[in-house]
């Protein structure tokens, strides 16, 4: 047995041991979950859970708080649709990492509390995310990284992130809207966009004077409402080598405690619709109007000339007035 094979088996044993001792609660292919309302329906004691995972769930409204989830350290949401998410930990939270992947139509509501150990938030391979609520409290978040996350909106509510240093949109974050007028982040120094088209940056808010790096790399048709005279301090340049180094470090550090996304089953939309139509009436009596509203709001198309957002039925762009070729 070679050295690399021994090293691999050792890492598998260590990972298995850590997963055994960690109290994890996994919800898979669940619908219409409401927390904290539905906590009485689960057999596990939520107060002992350290890792909470949602895989391929839909139409869920999740509020996690310190009363019901005091020991929670890791949150993993993969392959979910029509999902709302919020945190309320006014006293103290042990939360260390939050990982979202393959999400569609998700509303991130209020993130309120004291999070001394949560430093980075990674969202990848997702669509239609909206930061709708307020982000308040003693939040130590330093990095917000979106990778291949399209048609998403930051930030719609009051957002106080006094330790935030970097916001990055990497690898096909197309049609995203960024409005930083509601953002209070006096230490934010880097905004970085790579391989992301049709970006709509409404405002840099109050961060422009202390922004050191405002970088676009291979981004087509950005729409910028930015006063570049305020970016005199933008002096740090990001190189292609730094991009590769960042991605290699990210892939190396991500797997634990999260599962590899490639090992998860893909969502079969046809079978999902078939299961939904065969459900008994009592399981479909939840009001889906809020989720339908989200879906309808994102039923838009973008002008190939100026990048303006238009209704699907529009024949002419409301931004430049040109007729649509489709």
The per-residue pLDDT for 259 is 52
- Examine the domain organization and report whether 301 and 198 are in the same domain: no
- Arithmetic mean of pLDDT, 264-278: 52
Kindly state whether residue 259 falls inside one of the protein's structural domains: no
Instruction: Give pLDDT tens digits for 194-204.
Output: 999 998 888 88
Instruction: Give pLDDT tens digits for 79-126.
Output: 999 999 999 999 999 999 999 999 999 999 999 999 999 999 999 999
The mean of the pLDDT values for the chain is: 77
- Examine the domain organization and report whether 296 and 236 are in the same domain: no
Q: Reply yes or no on whether the pLDDT at 295 is more than 60.
A: no
- Examine the domain organization and report whether 299 and 165 are in the same domain: no
Instruction: Identify the domain boundary among 254, 277, 301.
Output: 254
Which range (134-138, 152-156, 179-183, 271-275) has the least confidence? 271-275
Instruction: Identify the domain boundary among 254, 269, 297.
Output: 254
- Arithmetic mean of pLDDT, 12-30: 65
Q: Reply yes or no on whether the pLDDT at 281 is more than 70.
A: no
Kindly state whether residue 99 falls inside one of the protein's structural domains: yes
- Examine the domain organization and report whether 97 and 194 are in the same domain: yes
The per-residue pLDDT for 277 is 58
- Examine the domain organization and report whether 138 and 248 are in the same domain: yes
The per-residue pLDDT for 228 is 60
Which range (13-22, 91-100, 295-304) has the least confidence? 13-22
- Examine the domain organization and report whether 163 and 100 are in the same domain: yes
Question: What is the rounded CA–CA span in Å between residue 68 and residue 61?
Answer: 15
- Examine the domain organization and report whether 237 and 298 are in the same domain: no
How many Å separate Cα 125 from the centre of its chain? 9
Instruction: Identify the domain boundary among 254, 279, 299.
Output: 254
Q: Reply yes or no on whether the pLDDT at 310 is more than 70.
A: yes
Kindly state whether residue 321 falls inside one of the protein's structural domains: no
Kindly state whether residue 317 falls inside one of the protein's structural domains: no
The per-residue pLDDT for 84 is 95
Model pTM score = 0.67
The per-residue pLDDT for 219 is 86
- Arithmetic mean of pLDDT, 218-227: 80
- Examine the domain organization and report whether 184 and 291 are in the same domain: no
Which of helix, strand or coil describes residue 294? helix
Query: Measured between alpha carbons, how far is residue 231 from residues 178, 198, 222 in Å?
Result: 17, 22, 17
Residue 298: domain span: 287-311
- Examine the domain organization and report whether 233 and 99 are in the same domain: yes
Kindly state whether residue 323 falls inside one of the protein's structural domains: no
Label residue 317 by pLDDT band (50, 70, 90).
Answer: confident
The per-residue pLDDT for 152 is 92
- Examine the domain organization and report whether 249 and 124 are in the same domain: yes
Label residue 314 by pLDDT band (50, 70, 90).
Answer: confident
- Overall domain count for the chain: 2
- Examine the domain organization and report whether 62 and 138 are in the same domain: yes
Q: Please indicate whether residue 253 or residue 139 has the higher confidence score (pLDDT).
A: 139
Instruction: Give pLDDT tens digits for 60-69.
Output: 999 999 999 9
Kindly state whether residue 265 falls inside one of the protein's structural domains: no
Q: Reply yes or no on whether the pLDDT at 298 is more than 80.
A: no
- Examine the domain organization and report whether 97 and 222 are in the same domain: yes
For the CA atoms of the chain, what is the radius of gyration?
A: 21
Cβ contacts of residue 72 below 8 Å, gap of 6+?
49, 50, 51, 52, 64, 93, 94, 95
Q: Each residue of 156-168: b (16+ CB within 10 Å) or e?
A: bbebbbeebbbbb
The per-residue pLDDT for 74 is 95
Kindly state whether residue 318 falls inside one of the protein's structural domains: no
Contact 211, 233 (CB under 8 A): yes
């Amino acid at each position: 047995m070679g050295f690399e094979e021994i090293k691999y088996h050792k890492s598998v044993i260590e990972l298995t041991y850590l997963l055994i001792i960690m109290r994890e609660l996994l919800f898979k292919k669940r619908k219409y979950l409401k927390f904290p309302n539905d906590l009485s329906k689960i057999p596990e004691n939520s107060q002992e859970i350290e890792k909470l995972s949602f895989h391929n769930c839909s139409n869920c409204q999740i509020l996690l708080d310190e009363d019901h989830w005091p020991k929670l350290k890791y949150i993993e949401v993969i392959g979910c649709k029509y999902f709302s998410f919020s945190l309320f930990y006014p006293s103290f939270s042990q939360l260390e990492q939050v990982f979202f992947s393959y999400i569609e139509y998700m509303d991130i509501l209020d993130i309120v509390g004291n999070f001394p150990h949560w430093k980075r938030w990674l969202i990848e391979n997702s669509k239609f995310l909206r930061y709708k609520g307020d982000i308040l409290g003693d939040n130590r978040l330093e990095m917000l990284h979106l990778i291949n996350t399209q048609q998403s909106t930051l930030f719609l509510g009051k957002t106080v992130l006094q330790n935030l240093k970097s916001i990055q949109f990497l690898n096909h974050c197309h049609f995203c809207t960024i409005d930083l007028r509601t953002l209070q982040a006096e230490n934010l120094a880097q905004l970085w966009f790579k391989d992301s088209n049709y970006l709509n940056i409404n405002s840099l808010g109050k961060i422009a004077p202390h922004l050191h790096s405002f970088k676009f790399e291979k981004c087509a048709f950005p729409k910028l409402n930015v006063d570049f005279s305020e970016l005199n301090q933008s002096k740090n340049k990001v190189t292609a080598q730094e991009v590769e180094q960042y991605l290699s470090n990210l892939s190396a550090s991500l797997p634990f405690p999260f599962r590899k996304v490639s090992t998860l089953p893909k969502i079969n939309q046809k079978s999902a619709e078939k299961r939904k139509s065969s459900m008994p009436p009592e399981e479909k009596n939840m009001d889906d109007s809020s989720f339908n509203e989200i879906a309808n709001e994102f039923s838009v198309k973008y002008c190939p000339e100026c990048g303006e957002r238009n209704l699907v039925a529009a024949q002419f762009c409301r931004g430049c007035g040109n007729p649509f070729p489709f």
